[in-house]
Chains A and B, each alone.
Chain A
């Protein structure tokens, strides 16, 4: 404090509030091939994944920084053999552990181990409310029956269960069926999450985009179910934003509440942040979680609202929407500092609505989520090709 010059420099920056949540993408390996996956099209390989000790350090550092809840995700997190150890570490450092799983590769014995290690909550994905749709979307025969059985095993242990359904053209007619499924499986929460078009979902947009009328009907059905089942089933909805008038408050603000760690250890402000060129991401192999959160260029690039255009600066929703999604702004306008084109104030608003209308009429096949075959110039360990 005696050095006036450094004191000024160090105290001028406002304190950065710590994150509440962390998405730990343990692996990109997955037995399912869902075309709506939010993972990047260029999936990270097994040989690039962090080892157990590094993940354990990341979890400890996250807890110290102020993270309260960790979402163990992927890919399929249970493709990692050390999942039980990682859940145990969460419990040891007081982190609330949420397992986000497809539920097709966890045996009852493994689930019991996860329970004993202190797992707090399970979020189970359903690609359809019926076997036919689940199998069509996930491209995995038998998936639906296995998921139903897994849900029963979760509830038999007394673990709380959330059913997650990503909604798109192939299942948007099943809203009421998803509600019935969640009740039948004794879930306390249901997430009706309209597809967000990043990563694989963006590649598949013309196969996934529903019509406006379908979206409006789905919203009405969710609202009716929510009223009907108050106190019995909590229904959280992620709105389909291409048809919306207001942008989603993406991540509740860039670098404000949560961070993602990719399988190879890169610290991201959101799933899709790597699509923004020029951002510098730091890796947990070289930096602590606190350094990544507070100091990495990517997290500081769009923190707060100062970077937003004048129209946003005078908007009363400035700190509600946070200007919407940076990745979508880039995608439509070529500039990640613009307002999200979903906002009706955006000059690009009509363009994104038009895109949705056109895509909804196209009849494209799914491009299933898979690891690409290696190009000859990028050959590494052959073992990393396997999906287990």
Chain B
């Protein structure tokens, strides 16, 4: 499913998946059918940039600037996260 993920790809959260702050426990969660994914700070920084319009490359560039980090490393982390979320059915290619 996620094999075709590339820098030009645009991803989005499908209907039925929502990013939300979890006030009671702290941190951020992805709410999905019958499950809750607790996001660490890095995963949250990535997922909050997913708007269904920006390409994967755009998200990587933004993160590389915001965190002053090496682009290749960000690229690897972002693609690994997106592949995992797509396989779990909580993200899709727009």
Q: Is the CB of B1 within 8 A of A120?
A: no
Q: Report the separation of the CA atoms of residues A121 and B31 in the bound assembly, to the nearest whole angstrom.
A: 11
Given A160-B15, A230-B87, are A68 and B1 neighbors across the interface (CB < 8 Å)?
no
Q: Is the CB of B22 within 8 A of A68?
A: yes
Residues of B within 8 A of A68 (CB): 20, 22, 29, 31, 36
Q: Is B52 an interface residue (CB 8 A)?
A: no
Residues of A within 8 A of B31 (CB): 68-69, 96, 120
Q: Is A146 an interface residue (CB 8 A)?
A: no
Q: Is B33 an interface residue (CB 8 A)?
A: yes
Q: Is B73 an interface residue (CB 8 A)?
A: no
Taking a contact as CB atoms closer than 8 A, the residue among A17, A94, A98 that contacts B34 in the complex is A98
Q: Is the CB of B25 within 8 A of A18?
A: yes
Q: Report the separation of the CA atoms of residues A98 and B17 in the bound assembly, to the nearest whole angstrom.
A: 12
Q: Is B24 an interface residue (CB 8 A)?
A: yes
Q: Is A66 an interface residue (CB 8 A)?
A: yes
Query: Chain A, 84-103, contact with B by CB distance < 8 Å: what is the 0/1 string?
Result: 00000000001010100000
Q: Is A308 an interface residue (CB 8 A)?
A: no
Q: Report the separation of the CA atoms of residues A160 and B32 in the bound assembly, to the nearest whole angstrom.
A: 9
Q: Is the CB of A189 within 8 A of B20?
A: no
Q: Is B2 an interface residue (CB 8 A)?
A: yes
Query: Shortest Cβ distance from B37 into chain A, in angstroms?
Result: 11
Residues of A within 8 A of B88 (CB): 234
Given A158-B15, A160-B15, A231-B1, are A236 and B23 neighbors across the interface (CB < 8 Å)?
no
By size class, the interface of chain B is: 20 to 34
Residues of B within 8 A of A160 (CB): 14-17, 33
Query: Shortest Cβ distance from B63 into chain A, in angstroms?
Result: 25
Q: Is the CB of A66 within 8 A of B34?
A: no
Q: Is A212 an interface residue (CB 8 A)?
A: no
Q: Is A159 an interface residue (CB 8 A)?
A: yes
Q: Report the separation of the CA atoms of residues A110 and B16 in the bound assembly, to the nearest whole angstrom.
A: 18
Query: Shortest Cβ distance from A134 into chain B, in angstroms?
Result: 22
Nearest B residue (CB) for A94: B20
Residues of B within 8 A of A98 (CB): 33-34
Q: Is the CB of B20 within 8 A of A234?
A: no
Query: Chain B, 57-68, contact with A by CB distance < 8 Å: what is the 0/1 string?
Result: 000000000000
| Contacts from B to A (Cβ < 8 Å) | 1-2, 14-18, 20, 22-25, 29, 31, 33-34, 36, 86-89
27 contacts between A and B (CB under 8 A): A17-B25, A18-B24, A66-B22, A66-B24, A68-B20, A68-B22, A68-B36, A69-B31, A69-B36, A96-B18, A98-B34, A120-B15, A120-B33, A121-B16, A121-B33, A121-B34, A123-B33, A159-B15, A160-B14, A160-B15, A188-B33, A188-B89, A189-B89, A191-B34, A230-B87, A234-B88, A234-B89
